[in-house]
Structure 1
Amino acid sequence: MTQFDYLCYEPWPLPSKLLMDLERSTHMTQTIIGKLDHGQEKVALLPGLNPPHWEFGHLIWFHEFWVHRKGVKSNPSFLAHADALFNSSEMIHDARWQVQIPSIDILMNYFSDVVERTLAILRSGILSPEQAYFIQLALYHEDMHNEAFAYMWQSLGYVWPLEQGLKASQDQHNDVESRYIHVPQCQFKLGSAPNTGFIFDNEKWQHEVLVPNFSISSHAVSNGEYLEFLRSLNDAGISFIEHQPAYWKKEGNTWFERFFDQWRELDLNASVRNISAHNAERYCLWKDVRLPTENELSVLMTAARESWQPSSLWEWTSSIFKPFEGFSPDPYQDYSAPWFDSRHRVLKGWSVYTPDYLRRSQFRNFYIPSRSDFFCGFRTCLA
């Protein structure tokens, strides 16, 4: 296909559906930012964080740039100097702490202005393919940043202001024993096909791959299983501090895990989370198992749900994030292409903070394997 692939991502959703989804996402964003206490917008310069008000300004700018400015810099912004302040493609990470961010009142007005103009388009009931694509792009980008706010708030120990997200993150546990599922060699269609609705460019295009037979765990590794690994290191006289999840602590004989600002006794049956790929691999080495490949985890996640247990976490694979053959970038060229650097790993799945419409088996998430601040876990394959 051509550089205009994105205009062919049919079927397009109804304007009324996009209206409902955008209102939901907007409410989440406003609640998250609006509930920050004074001073909490000032955070230390750390690799996994952005200043919260900068990130808020960025997601507004992105929405305005693609939906209302048509991706053309010469089309003026509703906010003076917005391009210089909030274009993540041109502002390196550390510089985001150096700029003078407008007041929260100005940012909230900017947000309302941008969103209301988009809602007016959706209320008209008529969308061109270009409008439908870019509104979805802006919506899903905002959803991803809302999820990023959740793991930032977790990192910072802030109160999470949305009850459903907090409750869901506390209830992810399973009492059924894990088992290994044997999957015979198969031909599998990896990626997304044309005319299946909105996709991201790194999913282009669907192609057949031969997946050799493998055996994969029905469940992600649990807190209890990971705790056994830490105890084995301790018994061997090896310090386990560098392998311990960042939000765990031990008091006496009891382990606790922090959920945002609350410490709770560790649920041994819950899937272990906030684990880097490096520590997942160290666990696998101890257990004489391995991480699944992207192909293997994709096969599992398209299988009947009764045969495997979702973890509600992004799950690590051993696969490097690479383009599929014939890849071409969509208009937001920095979504995928800069990260095909042999440093990023593919993750599959979703977290409890991922909207239902992004919980697709074709979706490819990607992070460097040393990161563990987002909501990630892992399952294993027999070696």
Structure 2
Amino acid sequence: MADALQDARDDTLATFECFAQAGMDAPVNVPMLPTVNPPLWELGHIAWFAEWYVLREAQSSAPVAAQRASLLTKGDDWFDANTVPHRARWTLGLPGAGALKTYCHEVLDRVLDKLDKLNRSADDDAALYPYRLALAYEDQRGEALAQMLQTLGVILPPRLAERTIPAWAQGEIRFPGGTIELGSKRDAGFVFDNEKWAHACYVPSFSMDSTLVNNAQYSDFIADGGYQHPQFWSAAGRQWLMQQCRSAPRDWLRDGKRWRCERFGRHFALPLDEPVRHVSLYEAQAYCMWAGRRLPSEAEWEFAALSGHAALRWGDLWEWTCSPFEPYPGFSADGYREYSEPHFMTHQVLRGASFATPLRMRSPKFRNFHAPERNDMFAGFRTCAL
């Protein structure tokens, strides 16, 4: 646990340095976009979250839940995401990068010292819960920072630049169906509240792509007028399309009869055999309608992922499903109250992981979720049929 916490903080600081080298270490130099936070604010917020739950022993995310004061005089006023509106994060008068890096180091040192003094005979899951929560949150914010690198056209840190998505043979797998347990068991250790708890779910037989839809397949959809024919799009998708004035995924650039793409501030020929990325739910649904297919449900996706089928490839990009984000039976919110409940029925489930997801966060049980219009994530999709 100590090594993982240190590793996550090292990754956070390394990613922040990419923004700093691009001149984006001050909020004034960062465009105000709905899917972006000032990297300086993110840096302080990540450390504040660990301080809140581990050092200050807060039992919930309620503003009065912490038992101790922040190490920063205005820590709560600056970094509590529940009380600091998104637009305000550009005008808070934050400390400089040097001061917030010092804060990050101080918080982590105290967290590791407290971890080292834990009573080894205590209930491990209960005692380790705040540490596991802080680690999982920092890993998630780390991936969000990587997404911001793409959005703002900033180069990747070496640890991510070295990760590539290989080409995989296209195919289809037939699954017999059956009953699985959706959700996590009570003895699974740390889980987020939307995975609670395991319950039986019957999955009818189905066929699913062995890999994600790739750029070549998606370009066929575009060439066939996929973005121009309204019959492929849902009502919400058509409205989104009109607002976006889009005729291709957000990182695609037309170059005569060919396509180029923009990745982390660099332009190059679109790799046709790579999975298509940065597509919204609406784009994934439209492709499926055009292809006479559909998105898998999250139960089908989990059934396939747990099958151990050698041809099934997942973990390169998050994958849209056809399942709205809703609670499992008997759901109750954990101390981090805003994690799941406010997003039920307005967001959509994604499963899997991406190349930017730390290995320790990858699980076939994990439920990611985003608004249907989001297309800045490292997300793609595969198709399914009965």
TM-score, reference length from structure 2: 0.89
Counterpart selection for 1:356 from 356, 359, 377: 359
Aligned length: 361
Distance 1:106 1:265 in 2: 41
**Is structure 2 residue 304 aligned with structure 1 residue 300?**
yes
Match of 1:122 in 2: 115
Letter aligned with residue 367 of structure 1: H
Residues 369 and 243 from structure 1, CA distance in 2 versus in 1: closer, same or farther, beyond 3 angstroms? farther
Letter aligned with residue 279 of structure 1: E
Question: What is the 5 A alignment of 1:260-339?
Answer: 260-339=264-343
Distance 1:271 1:106 in 2: 41
**Is structure 2 residue 214 aligned with structure 1 residue 222?**
yes
SS at match of 2:289: helix
Q: Is the 8 A contact 1:250 1:256 kept in 2?
A: yes
Distance 1:264 1:356 in 2: 28
Distance 1:234 1:196 in 2: 44
Q: How many Å apart are 1:175 and its aligned residue? A: 4.3
4+ residue segments displaced more than 3 Å:
122-131, 234-241
Q: Is the 8 A contact 1:61 1:86 kept in 2?
A: yes
SS at match of 2:365: coil
Letter aligned with residue 103 of structure 1: G
Q: Is the 8 A contact 2:277 2:378 kept in 1?
A: yes
Match of 1:31 in 2: 14
Counterpart selection for 2:144 from 137, 143, 148: 148
Residues 273 and 50 from structure 1, CA distance in 2 versus in 1: closer, same or farther, beyond 3 angstroms? same
SS at match of 2:144: helix
Match of 1:8 in 2: none
Q: Is the 8 A contact 2:226 2:290 kept in 1?
A: no
**Is structure 2 residue 381 aligned with structure 1 residue 378?**
yes
TM-superposition CA deviations, 1:259-317 (whole Å, max 9, x none): 21222221111111101000011111111111111111111111214131225111000
TM-superposition CA deviations, 1:74-114 (whole Å, max 9, x none): 51000011111111112222222232111111111111110
Q: RMSD of the TM alignment (CA)? A: 2.0
Residues 365 and 234 from structure 1, CA distance in 2 versus in 1: closer, same or farther, beyond 3 angstroms? closer
Comparing 300-309 with 327-336, which one deviates more in the overlay? 300-309
Q: Is the 8 A contact 1:64 1:77 kept in 2?
A: yes
Match of 2:233 in 1: none
Question: What is the 5 A alignment of 1:187-226?
Answer: 187-226=179-218
Match of 1:20 in 2: 3
Counterpart selection for 1:249 from 247, 253, 258: 253
SS at match of 1:227: helix
**Is structure 2 residue 72 aligned with structure 1 residue 85?**
no
Counterpart selection for 1:59 from 21, 26, 46: 46
Distance 1:234 1:84 in 2: 47
Counterpart selection for 1:70 from 57, 70, 86: 57
Counterpart selection for 1:167 from 152, 162, 166: 162
Question: What is the 5 A alignment of 1:229-244?
Answer: 229-233=221-225, 242-244=246-248
SS at match of 2:307: coil
Distance 2:332 2:323 in 1: 20
Letter aligned with residue 137 of structure 1: L
Where structure 2 has 5 or more consecutive residues not aligned to the other structure, the ranges are: 59-64, 231-240
Question: What is the 5 A alignment of 1:34-45?
Answer: 34-35=17-18, 36-37=20-21, 39-41=23-25, 42-45=29-32
Residues 349 and 243 from structure 1, CA distance in 2 versus in 1: closer, same or farther, beyond 3 angstroms? farther
Residues 109 and 317 from structure 1, CA distance in 2 versus in 1: closer, same or farther, beyond 3 angstroms? same
SS at match of 1:290: coil
Where structure 1 has 5 or more consecutive residues not aligned to the other structure, the ranges are: 1-17
Q: How many Å apart are 1:180 and its aligned residue? A: 2.0
Comparing 78-87 with 230-239, which one deviates more in the overlay? 230-239
**Is structure 2 residue 40 aligned with structure 1 residue 47?**
no
Letter aligned with residue 142 of structure 1: E
Residues 21 and 355 from structure 1, CA distance in 2 versus in 1: closer, same or farther, beyond 3 angstroms? same
Residues 131 and 104 from structure 1, CA distance in 2 versus in 1: closer, same or farther, beyond 3 angstroms? farther
SS at match of 1:347: strand
Distance 2:227 2:285 in 1: 20
